[in-house]
Chains A and B, each alone.
Chain A
Amino acid sequence: MKKSSTPSDPSLAALLHDLSQPLTAILSNARAAQRFLSNPSLDHHAEMHDILEDIVADDKKAADIVGKLRQAIKDAEGDG
């Protein structure tokens, strides 16, 4: 790994920062869903629907950022 492709590179650091946002949202949504499902007495149908919608959207966001990261690493290696 070349030195320009470590997170000390500002653009990579920014992308890693951006990636942690959807990951946080996905994990929190999944944990919330687990909690809701463990309580079968409550009807969480609407909330579960929203949670799954959000997880899909955040996963797509994360995938988009991974694509940018891949490109940034490729660019950095090309420079070296």
Chain B
Amino acid sequence: MSLQQGTVFIVDDDPDVCRAVGRLVRGAGYEVREYNSARDFLVAHESEPPGCLLLDLSMPEVDGLQLQQSLAAAGCHRPIVFLSANGDVHNTVRAMKAGAVNFLTKPVDRDELIGALTEAFAIDAAGRAKWETRHTIAGRMATLTPRERQVLEKVVAGRLNKQIAAELGTVEKTIKVHRSRVMQKLRAGSLIQLIEIANLGGVSATHDA
């Protein structure tokens, strides 16, 4: 059995359920952390390590939906699979609308549970990859000089070098130099790539340069 990348954080106020589900999930190759209350989880939680949350709906004090809200308010997008002892339609809808990956009814069997966790892990990985791309591009964008940024905005808006030169009050040759430096700094191999990178970095074609 292969070890999955990441951790399943199990939160259930019933220690028997927590321990048993923990064994099952660990047996399927996942790292597991168990918490008997939403509070314990929130105190210990760091959003850095990849993985998902397997969350009991009805718990005393802070319930599953409240924990989901607290995480969202804190900007944590860790995917959540809910476990509920009663297939409560109202709460299912609330949880799913707030972005839950799945809502499972107890007693849940292995295949359904592992399937939901696999899906949650994929969503977590995709979200992290997207964030990393944005982060990398933001870093490259930050190396542009104000002038290079101006040129980039005009290139993305579809202006020709000649037009950009006229608009910025300089000569075409200078714009060409700026433009090739922008391509280098953003590591774009083509105009299409440059536009894609610029879009991800927050410079879009609709921007009227």
Name A residues whose Cβ lies closer than 8 Å to a Cβ of B.
13, 16-18, 20-29, 31-32, 35-36, 39, 47, 51, 54, 57-58, 61
Which of B23, B24, B58, B110 interacts with A17 by CB under 8 Å? B58
Given A21-B14, A39-B1, A28 and B21 contact (CB-CB distance below 8 Å): yes
Given A17-B86, A24-B21, A28-B20, A35 and B107 contact (CB-CB distance below 8 Å): no
Docked-complex contact B17 and A28, CB < 8 angstroms:
yes
Given A13-B86, A20-B85, A21-B85, A29 and B20 contact (CB-CB distance below 8 Å): yes
| Known A21-B106, A28-B21; further 13 A-B contacts with Cβ < 8 A | A20-B105, A20-B107, A21-B16, A25-B14, A25-B20, A27-B109, A28-B20, A28-B23, A31-B109, A31-B110, A39-B1, A58-B16, A61-B16
Residues of A within 8 A of B93 (CB): none
Nearest Cβ distance between residue B44 and chain A, in whole angstroms? 22
Write out, one digit per residue, whether chain B residues 63-105 have a CB within 8 A of any chain A CB (1) or not (0): 0000000000000000000010110000000000000000001
Quick one: closest A residue to B18, CB to CB? A25
Which of A13, A24, A32, A54 interacts with B106 by CB under 8 Å? A24
Docked-complex contact B85 and A17, CB < 8 angstroms:
yes
Residues of B within 8 A of A39 (CB): 1
Docked-complex contact B16 and A25, CB < 8 angstroms:
yes
A31–B23 alpha-carbon span in the complex (Å): 9
A28–B28 alpha-carbon span in the complex (Å): 11
Which size class do B's interface residues fall under? 20 to 34
A36–B17 alpha-carbon span in the complex (Å): 18
A24–B28 alpha-carbon span in the complex (Å): 17
Given A20-B107, A21-B14, A22-B16, A51 and B23 contact (CB-CB distance below 8 Å): yes
Docked-complex contact A24 and B86, CB < 8 angstroms:
no
Nearest Cβ distance between residue A34 and chain B, in whole angstroms? 8
A35–B114 alpha-carbon span in the complex (Å): 13
Interface presence of B108 (CB below 8 A): yes
Among A25, A29, A54: residue with most chain B CB under 10 A: A25
Quick one: closest A residue to B86, CB to CB? A17
Write out, one digit per residue, whether chain B residues 20-38 have a CB within 8 A of any chain A CB (1) or not (0): 1101101110000000000
Among B16, B28, B109: residue with most chain A CB under 10 A: B16
Interface presence of B128 (CB below 8 A): no
A33–B85 alpha-carbon span in the complex (Å): 23
Among B14, B20, B83, B85: residue with most chain A CB under 10 A: B20
